[in-house]
Amino acid sequence: MSVLYEFVYHYNYLITIFLMVAGLYIVIAHGNMIKKLVGLALFQTSVYLLYISPGKIIGGTPPILDPAFSVYSNPLPHVLILTAIVVGVATLALGLALVVRIYEAYGTVEEDEIFSKDGEI
């Protein structure tokens, strides 16, 4: 049991950092703007995981008070991440609206083609 627990404890943080780095790679390496925004959404979601994992208590329950339970998981990260999720979707919608306008102005959503078109003008 404790071997599995140790593995899961390291694994949790490892996967979180892998997701973060994968999101960062997508934002840096790909030129398509919509794919960059997908990578940004992946990055944000991995940060949510990074905040919520330390709040869990093994043997605890969700933080809804009830006389039958005494150990609750930490509710404070949940509050912060609720705000972060909704703010994230608002900025994602704004970013995609900007991508639509860029497409209408330049005719493409590829970064390199936009830079070369800007160089001509």
Partner 1 sequence: MEAFVNAVLLTLLAVVTVAVIRQRSMFGVVILAGIYSFLMASVMVALDAVDVAMTEASVGAGISTIVFLATLHLTNTRENPRPRNVMLPLFVSGVVGAALIWGTFTLPPFGIADAPIHMHTVPHYLQQSIRETGVPNVVTAVLADYRSFDTLGEVTVIFTGGIGVMLLLKGRRRRQDRNGGISGT
Partner 2 sequence: MKLDVILRIGVKLILPFLLLFAFYVHFHGEYGPGGGFQAGVMSAAMVILYGLIFGIDAAKRVVPQRFVELLIPIGVLLYVAAGIPAFFEGHRFLDYGVLSDDAVQGRVLGVLIIETGVLITVAGAMTAIFYAFAERGRG
Q: Which residues bind partner 2 (CB under 8 A)?
A: 62, 64, 82, 86, 90, 93, 97, 100
Between 64 and 121, name the residue whose CB sits nearer to partner 2. Answer: 64
C-alpha distances out from residue 59 to 3, 49, 70, 89, 101, Å: 17, 19, 10, 33, 50
Q: What type of residue is 41?
A: A
**Residue-wise over 71-84: b if at least 16 C-beta within 10 A, else e?**
eebeeebeeebeee
Between 58 and 64, name the residue whose CB sits nearer to partner 2. Answer: 64
Interface with partner 1 in residues 8-67 (CB under 8 A): 8-9, 11-15, 17-26, 28-32, 34-35, 37-39, 41-42, 45, 48-49, 52-58, 60-66
> Least CB distance from residue 40 to partner 1, whole Å?
11
Between 2 and 83, name the residue whose CB sits nearer to partner 2. Answer: 83
- Burial level of 23, CB count in 10 A (0-12/13-18/19+)? buried
Between 15 and 100, name the residue whose CB sits nearer to partner 2. Answer: 100
